[in-house]
Structure 1
Amino acid sequence: MVQNDHDFSIPTRQPSVAIGIILIKFVRMTVRAIWPLLLSFFIGRRAGSTFEDVVGYLVLGFAAFNLIGSILTYFRFYYYIKDNAIVLDKGVLKKTRTNIPFERIQTINFSQNLLHRLFNVVSVEIDSAGANKSEISIDALSKEEAIALREYIMAEKEQIINEIGTEEEKEISADKSPSELLLHLTPFDLLKVGVSQNHLRSMGIIFAFVFTTINELTNDIGDFLSDQFTQFESYAVHNTLFAFLFSAVLVIIISFLFSLGNSVLKYYDLKLWMGKNGLKLVRGLLNREEVTINKNKVQMVSWSTNPIRKFFKMYTLQIAQASSTEVNAQKSKINVPGSYKKQISRVINMVFPSEYLGTEVKHSISSAVKQRIVLFYGILPSLVSLSLWFLIEEAAFYFLLILPLSVFLGRAYYKKRSYEINEELIRSNSGIVGTENVLTQIHKIQAVKVKQSWYQRRKQLATIELYTAAGEMSIPFITLNEALQLENFILYRIETDKREWM
């Protein structure tokens, strides 16, 4: 038995600060779900609307009911250790008990928001093998107790593996080499990450928020916009052009600042440590996260770049861990921006067998994909725009610019879309403006699907989709014969490989 100053065998509640953390989490979830109703409620009260009053009171009553339930949940929440397993008892009306044996525990992760950091507590998530979510989540533990709990569980797990584990598990458990700091985002690196973010997505988020808010505040957004633009009718053409350019520059600046601020909040002081057993990631300004990545649980590794990030010679490294649900698969993907090629190579060599890396045979997709892109994204939209001549007149000719654009997009997509494969690994390459590469081991693939659209059937082409516990990989527009051969090869490798997929 591992010695520890804390007695984890006694059922223990969380510290009292957990009440405030639970309430804040509840309020955040409630506001996120019903803020349009709350806004309608306040507007309705000023307008004297009885309906909005009723809706508002129902919402507040529902919130109060759940608020009381959240407080009661705190008093019925206990955790303890029994028979080499961590046990969680919780529930008000329906009591549940979750029991996870130490040998099934994969990672123990910590996170902190501002309130956590103010009271020096952390949120603890314990993830087990094959879980569709973190099976045990503790909202608040003192940092000292959380670290002691993690060390105790991992030490006991190591002792159990040394007694009953396989030789491979014993070898990994016996590794005591210190973690190496692989990546640390400096303020200058963080600035480059912010500059090279997707600012179009930031524009979309800003516009969506503005238009949604305006739509809640006014009955007809069309009339609102019409009233605003009518104010500029008396200006000369050059003044209108100046206003348009000024607005465009303002939107770009706001989007840039939004992207930069989001990068700072999410990736501030990002550090990535690497050991023989896996990786540890720490990041965040207001919400500080500490995530442990077990290399056996990694399903896919991808790295991507865009023109600005390529200028900085930087990539976004994404590590996808095993998850049994599509929603949780998105949460299990860990992004590490500001990575350089050397650091990506170190991670890939740690996760995948190094003797197979670089031996993949490259295959191109069918050139018919260029024709499809030109047809569906160039010719058909152009014909539709010309057919609307009687509505938009000369403006219809501007839509013809879509045609040469679709030719460019088709060529760029075809040039970058390919796949590489050997006996052990399969890699997908894609992109139009930027590039993205995804790498996985064949024996970790759980399902294979070959499908055809009506266009592909006419051309004797197909798309093959490969499903892992962390998401899917798609290889489009290869010949049907090639897709069937690839499917048979992958299924054969899966059936004959006796290794565990995680």
Structure 2
Amino acid sequence: MSNEIDFSEFRTQSLKGIVIIYGKFLFQVLKGTWVLLFLFITKASKLSSVDIFYFYIGITVLLTFILIRSYLVYKNFKFKIEGDSFILKKGIISKNNTAIAFDRIQNVNFSQNVIHQLINVYQVDIETAGSDKTEISIKALSLDQAKALRKKITDAKLQEQSITEQTEVIKEKPLLSIGVNDLLKVSITENHLQSLLLLLAFLFGFYQQIQDVFLNFIGEEVLDNYLNKGKDLLAGSIILLLGVLIFLSIVAIISSFVRVFLRHFNLSFSIKNEAFEIQQGLTNKKAIILKREKVQFITIITNPLKRRLGISYVIFKQAISGKVKKADKLIKIVGCKKDHLEKIKATLFTSLDFQDAEKEKPHWYFTYRIIFRTILIFSCLNVLFYFVFNAQNQLLVNVFLLLIAIPLLYKRIRKLFFKVSNNMLLVGGGAIETSTTYLEMFKVQNVKIKQSIFQRRRNVADLILQTASGKIKLPSITEERANELYNQILYTIETSTKEWM
């Protein structure tokens, strides 16, 4: 059984960890040198047999060096549990000893990329408070070892909170389990523009890396000639431009399908002992335990198509100290139905009474500012359109953009609101999508009132709430109301005794 595994003596990772470490080092080398390797392959026919022989010798030496280094990294990576601390030793030439007290450990998470899945091991990441990254990453453990390690740390933390070892974990069926059919629904309702931009960014970055190789094949003059012809065709034909937009839309939808399946495949979401257990992923599987107190706020997002299908998604913004990627601070659960949302809110928040709270809207200055900025953007775009389109096509493009922009502006202005209860803040917003954010005031770390010279003339201000996972902004509310909320939030922070991390 996993709970019988002894961590009192130093242990190494699974022997299969050598494969993971070797693959990581090999990927780093290929990432920096693949263009050179591609150039060698394309010019191999022009090289002498001696040059090719030395190339293969060099590759063999490099692969052998990586293998030896991987083995030494594996052999010198040792860990154990001593008292109420996790002890780690690692390093080849420069030795590094780390001791982490259990009370500093926030989460013990599992993940599996493609290689992990092939050799049936798990990566275990130990997150701590006060670190700018994952403190410890054990590259390869069996599932029994990973679970036993997490249980050992979790049990010790429960003892520190005066909970006996005999406390049983409450086991429930998953609150939410997403199958292939549900993922198809989610994919259809995704933000396809975001998917398209991500794909284009990847293709552009890829082209930048192989540009020199590409030019060697077709020549710079030929490439410039094709690009100039493409510009002339687009400038002279609205039909062709619409065709390109339709093609890009299809590509965006396909990209959304792929992105959703890779990220959320086999999604399982459970609530156990007031903590969330999340498992999801296809090529990169993740198993995460998210404690209630670590969640700073949640945002529920839907759109017209999602509402029609009766689904939405929830973003959990969690507390992570230091400079980390934005994506690491949030966890996204897709395909949630109304009863799932109510269960999540009941688990996270002790009180959600907004029935008597007044729905407050921004000052009219907010609408004025949005319209002014839109006019400014259109003016800049029309300077560009002047050099690309003729007068008739420029008019058609402007009409097309206005038909999109005006409804979006109207929806953004109409959807923005906030409600305040005794200890909770509810903020609504969005344009195409509708977002609803729930924040407990005692989790606010810093609150400030920001006011430009234009806002000062109209007695309005922006109220900015800083939490451990990001900001929430209430734009252009009256100065008097901003001061009231400022004092209310500060009072709640100072008088609350609840944990927020």
TM bracket (short chain): 0.7 to 0.9
Helix, strand or coil: the match of 1:317? strand
2:52 aligned residue: none
When residues 380 and 161 of structure 1 are mapped into structure 2, their CA distance, relative to the original with a 3 A threshold, is closer
| Shift, 1:352, TM fit | 0.8
Question: Where in structure 2 are the equivalents of 1:32-51 lying within 5 Å?
Answer: none
Once residues 432 and 202 of structure 2 are traced to their aligned partners in structure 1, the CA distance between those partners, rounded to angstroms, is 27
Q: Are 2:159 and 2:165, in contact at CA under 8 Å, matched by a contact in 1?
A: no
Unaligned runs of 5+ in 1: 49-55, 163-169
When residues 19 and 172 of structure 1 are mapped into structure 2, their CA distance, relative to the original with a 3 A threshold, is closer
Once residues 93 and 76 of structure 1 are traced to their aligned partners in structure 2, the CA distance between those partners, rounded to angstroms, is 10
When residues 308 and 46 of structure 1 are mapped into structure 2, their CA distance, relative to the original with a 3 A threshold, is farther
Once residues 274 and 404 of structure 2 are traced to their aligned partners in structure 1, the CA distance between those partners, rounded to angstroms, is 47
| Shift, 1:479, TM fit | 2.1
Q: Are 2:133 and 2:323, in contact at CA under 8 Å, matched by a contact in 1?
A: no
2:290 aligned residue: 293
Once residues 37 and 425 of structure 1 are traced to their aligned partners in structure 2, the CA distance between those partners, rounded to angstroms, is 57
Once residues 433 and 172 of structure 1 are traced to their aligned partners in structure 2, the CA distance between those partners, rounded to angstroms, is 50
Q: Are 1:158 and 1:173, in contact at CA under 8 Å, matched by a contact in 2?
A: no
Once residues 72 and 501 of structure 1 are traced to their aligned partners in structure 2, the CA distance between those partners, rounded to angstroms, is 41
When residues 459 and 175 of structure 1 are mapped into structure 2, their CA distance, relative to the original with a 3 A threshold, is farther
1:165 aligned residue: none
Which of residues 186, 196, 221 in structure 2 aligns to 1:203? 196
- Alignment deviations for residues 91-136 of structure 1 (CA, whole Å, 9 cap, x no partner): 2333222222334433321111222222221111123345443322
| Shift, 1:14, TM fit | 1.0
Residues 1:186 and 2:179 are matched in the alignment: yes
- Alignment deviations for residues 372-418 of structure 1 (CA, whole Å, 9 cap, x no partner): 22212125633873798688551543465356655433322111111
Helix, strand or coil: the match of 2:13? coil
1:312 aligned residue: 309
Question: Where in structure 2 are the equivalents of 1:101-180 lying within 5 Å?
Answer: 101-162=101-162, 170=163, 174=167, 176-180=169-173
Helix, strand or coil: the match of 1:99? strand
Aligned residues: 482
1:417 aligned residue: 416
Once residues 323 and 73 of structure 1 are traced to their aligned partners in structure 2, the CA distance between those partners, rounded to angstroms, is 28
2:433 aligned residue: 434
- Alignment deviations for residues 429-469 of structure 1 (CA, whole Å, 9 cap, x no partner): 11011111111111111111222344434433222211111
Once residues 184 and 384 of structure 2 are traced to their aligned partners in structure 1, the CA distance between those partners, rounded to angstroms, is 48
Normalised TM-score (structure 2)? 0.83
Q: Are 1:269 and 1:285, in contact at CA under 8 Å, matched by a contact in 2?
A: yes
What residue identity is the alignment partner of 1:10? E
When residues 329 and 260 of structure 1 are mapped into structure 2, their CA distance, relative to the original with a 3 A threshold, is closer
When residues 306 and 486 of structure 1 are mapped into structure 2, their CA distance, relative to the original with a 3 A threshold, is same
Once residues 45 and 374 of structure 2 are traced to their aligned partners in structure 1, the CA distance between those partners, rounded to angstroms, is 48
- Greater mean alpha carbon deviation, residues 3-12 or residues 136-145: 3-12
Question: Where in structure 2 are the equivalents of 1:337-376 lying within 5 Å?
Answer: 337-354=334-351, 356=353, 358=355, 360-376=357-373
Residues 1:484 and 2:483 are matched in the alignment: yes
Helix, strand or coil: the match of 1:280? strand
2:327 aligned residue: 330
Helix, strand or coil: the match of 2:289? strand
Q: Are 1:329 and 1:471, in contact at CA under 8 Å, matched by a contact in 2?
A: no
Residues 1:84 and 2:77 are matched in the alignment: no
What residue identity is the alignment partner of 1:449? K
Once residues 112 and 184 of structure 1 are traced to their aligned partners in structure 2, the CA distance between those partners, rounded to angstroms, is 19
- Greater mean alpha carbon deviation, residues 482-491 or residues 379-388: 379-388
Q: Are 1:370 and 1:407, in contact at CA under 8 Å, matched by a contact in 2?
A: no
Helix, strand or coil: the match of 1:146? helix
When residues 100 and 383 of structure 1 are mapped into structure 2, their CA distance, relative to the original with a 3 A threshold, is closer
- Alignment deviations for residues 205-248 of structure 1 (CA, whole Å, 9 cap, x no partner): 333333444443256989736426749999xx9xx787666554
Unaligned runs of 5+ in 2: 48-54
| Shift, 1:334, TM fit | 0.6
RMSD value, Cα: 3.8
What residue identity is the alignment partner of 1:397? L
- Alignment deviations for residues 162-205 of structure 1 (CA, whole Å, 9 cap, x no partner): 3xxxxxxx499946432341101122111011111221122223
Identity %: 29
Once residues 250 and 388 of structure 1 are traced to their aligned partners in structure 2, the CA distance between those partners, rounded to angstroms, is 22
When residues 114 and 11 of structure 1 are mapped into structure 2, their CA distance, relative to the original with a 3 A threshold, is same
When residues 233 and 281 of structure 1 are mapped into structure 2, their CA distance, relative to the original with a 3 A threshold, is closer
Which of residues 251, 257, 261 in structure 2 aligns to 1:260? 257
What residue identity is the alignment partner of 1:185? I
1:167 aligned residue: none
Helix, strand or coil: the match of 1:365? coil
Helix, strand or coil: the match of 1:363? coil
1:73 aligned residue: 73
2:10 aligned residue: 11
1:98 aligned residue: 98
Once residues 102 and 175 of structure 2 are traced to their aligned partners in structure 1, the CA distance between those partners, rounded to angstroms, is 29
